[in-house]
Structure 1
Amino acid sequence: MWDRSADSWSGVTCKDGLVVGLDLSDESISGGIDGSSSLFKLEFLRSLNLAFNNFNYMAILLSLANLSLLENLNLSNAWFTRQIPAELSRLRKLRTLDLTYLYSLKLEKSSLRSLIGDLGELRELYLDMVNVSAEGSEWCDALSSSVPKLEVLSMSYCSFSGPIDASLMSLANLSVIRLRSNNLSTTVPSFLANFSSLKMLHLGDCGLQGEFPQKVFQVQTLQNLYLSSNELLKVFLLDFLEDSSLETLVMYGTNISGRIPDSIGNLRKLLLLDL
Structure 2
Amino acid sequence: MRIPHVSLLSFIFCYCFWIHHSVYYTGVSAQIVEDQQQSLLKLKNSLKFKTNKSTKLVSWNPSVDFCKWRGVACDEERQVTGLDLSGESIYGEFDNSSTLFTLQNLQILNLSDNNFSSEIPSGFNKLKNLTYLNLSHAGFVGQIPTEISYLTRLVTLDISSVSYLYGPPLKLENIDLQMLVRNLTMLRQLYMDGVIVTTQGNTWSNAFFQLVNLQELSMSDCNLSGPLDPSLTRLPNLSVIRLDQNNFSSPVPETFANFTNLTTLHLSSCELTGTFPEKIFQVATLSVLDLSFNYHLYGSLPKFPLNSPLQTLIVSGTNFSGAIPPSINNLGQ
Query: What TM-score do you get using the length of structure 2 for normalisation?
Result: 0.77
Whether 1:253 and 2:317 are equivalent positions in the alignment is: yes
Match of 1:165 among 225, 229, 243: 229
User: Matched residues in 1 for 2:247 and 2:289: separation?
Assistant: 19
By relative contact order (CA 8 Å, sep 6+), the higher-ranking structure is: 1
1:121-132 equivalences in 2 (<5 Å): 121-132=186-197
Deviation at 1:34, TM superposition (A): 2.6
Match of 1:115 in 2: 180
1:64-75 equivalences in 2 (<5 Å): 64-75=124-135
Match of 1:36 among 85, 97, 109: 97
User: Matched residues in 2 for 1:170 and 1:49: separation?
Assistant: 30
DSSP 3-state at the match of 1:249: strand
Which residue identity does 1:210 align to in structure 2?
G
Could you tell me whether the CA contact under 8 Å between 2:241 and 2:265 is conserved in 1? yes
Instruction: Please give the per-residue CA displacement for 1:116-167, whole angstroms capped at 9, x wherever unaligned.
Output: 01100011000001001222220111012x3111000000000011122222
DSSP 3-state at the match of 1:58: coil
User: Matched residues in 2 for 1:85 and 1:165: separation?
Assistant: 27
Match of 2:108 among 38, 47, 56: 47
Could you tell me whether the CA contact under 8 Å between 2:95 and 2:120 is conserved in 1? no
Could you tell me whether the CA contact under 8 Å between 1:218 and 1:240 is conserved in 2? yes
Match of 1:154 in 2: 218
Match of 2:82 in 1: 21
Runs of 4+ residues over 4 Å off in structure 1? none
Query: What TM-score do you get using the length of structure 1 for normalisation?
Result: 0.93
Could you tell me whether the CA contact under 8 Å between 1:81 and 1:102 is conserved in 2? no
Identity %: 49
Instruction: Give ranges in structure 1 of 5+ residues lacking alignment.
Output: 270-275
DSSP 3-state at the match of 2:196: coil
Deviation at 1:80, TM superposition (A): 0.5
Q: Greater strand share, 1 or 2?
A: 1
Could you tell me whether the CA contact under 8 Å between 1:186 and 1:209 is conserved in 2? yes
Could you tell me whether the CA contact under 8 Å between 2:110 and 2:135 is conserved in 1? yes
Q: Is the radius of gyration larger for structure 1 or structure 2?
A: 2
Match of 2:139 in 1: 79
Match of 2:160 among 100, 107, 113: 100
Which residue identity does 1:108 align to in structure 2?
E
User: Matched residues in 2 for 1:193 and 1:10: separation?
Assistant: 45
Deviation at 1:36, TM superposition (A): 2.1
Instruction: Please give the per-residue CA displacement for 1:139-198, whole angstroms capped at 9, x wherever unaligned.
Output: 111012x31110000000000111222221111000100000100000011111111111
Q: Greater helix share, 1 or 2?
A: 2
Could you tell me whether the CA contact under 8 Å between 1:80 and 1:102 is conserved in 2? no
